[in-house]
């Protein structure tokens, strides 16, 4: 392991010399090695892939019904060293900022989860007032902590890290009622027996 001095550029464009860091054989910075404490750079290094944004029913929903969204964000734990001693560092999602694409936003402390039934209200679901196609976005906020005693005590790292998920498209339809000869058990391919939105009129 090699110890280098990290060179950084401040907002004014000036070069400043940061703390000494250790790099492995591939030139990657080893979190905590050669440092007096962990910082947000170490936390950011744990989150290599942003959380993925999901929606039930492939993002298809019905106007005035609950369209459910959720994310797979989880906490990330890594073994490391600090001043040559074993350490643990972790990044934990603490807030989720949802933008449903229709001017409505919401902040939750839960990631949400998939629902087996349609039109179930959850902490992360949303009711659209109009039909159309909406772009839904999610920002996940992480806090960082480290432990020097095998995880019995966790020390917070100042600041937070925000990661943006890839946008998701939600297609919202209106319902149409028709009289049919068979129910969906007798004729699964009959009109109205598809997933929400398949036999709905996308027009306003």
* Mean pLDDT of all residues in 134-153: 96
Average of pLDDT values for 143-151?
95
Q: What is the DSSP string of 29-85?
A: B-TTTT-SS--HHHHHHH--SPPPEEEGGGGEEETTSEEPEEE----EEEEEEETTE
Work out the percent of the chain whose per-residue pLDDT is above 90: 64
For residues 151 and 88, is the Cβ–Cβ distance under 8 A? Answer: yes
Q: Across-strand partners of 185?
A: none
The answer, yes or no, to whether residue 12 has pLDDT greater than 90, is no
Is 200:174 a contact under the CB 8 Å cutoff? yes
Task: Tell me what pLDDT residue 37 has.
Answer: 83
In order of their start, the domains of the chain are: 31-171 (2.60.40.10)
Q: How would you write 87-124 as a 3-class SS string? A: EEEEEEEEEEEEECCCCCEEEECCCCCCCCCCCCCCCC
Query: Tens digit of pLDDT for each residue in 120-135?
Result: 999 999 999 999 999 9
Helix (H, G, I), strand (E, B) or coil at 27: coil
Exposure of 31 in the CB half-sphere (CA atoms within 13 A): 24
Return the DSSP state at 150: T
Alpha-carbon gap, residue 123 to 111, rounded angstroms: 9
User: How many CA atoms lie less than 13 Å away from 178 in the CB half-sphere?
Assistant: 12
- Higher confidence at residue 2 or residue 104? 104
- Predicted model pTM: 0.71
- What does the pLDDT look like over 46-73, one tens digit per residue? 999 999 999 999 999 999 999 999 999 9
- Cα distance between residue 44 and residue 153, in whole Å: 21
Q: Considering only CA atoms, which of 161, 173, 107, 165 is closest in space to residue 136?
A: 165
């Amino acid at each position: 392991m090699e110890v280098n001095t990290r060179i950084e550029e401040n907002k004014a464009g000036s070069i400043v010399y940061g703390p000494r860091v250790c790099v492995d054989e591939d030139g990657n910075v080893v979190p905590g090695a050669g440092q007096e404490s962990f910082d947000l750079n170490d936390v950011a290094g744990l989150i290599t892939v942003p959380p993925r944004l999901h929606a039930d029913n492939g993002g298809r929903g019905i106007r005035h019904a609950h369209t459910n969204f959720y994310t797979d964000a989880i906490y990330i734990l890594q073994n490391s060293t600090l001043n040559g001693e074993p350490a643990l560092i972790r990044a934990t999602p603490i807030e989720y900022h949802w933008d449903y694409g229709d001017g409505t936003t919401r902040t939750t402390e839960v990631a949400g989860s998939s629902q087996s039934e349609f039109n179930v209200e959850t902490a992360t679901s949303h009711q659209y007032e109009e039909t159309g196609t909406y772009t839904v976005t999610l920002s996940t906020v992480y806090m960082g902590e480290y432990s020097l005693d095998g995880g019995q005590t966790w020390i917070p790292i100042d600041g937070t890290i925000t990661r943006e998920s890839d946008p998701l498209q939600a297609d919202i339809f209106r319902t149409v009622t028709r009289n049919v000869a068979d129910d969906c058990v007798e004729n699964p391919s009959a009109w109205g027996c598809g997933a929400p939105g398949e036999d709905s009129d996308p027009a306003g």
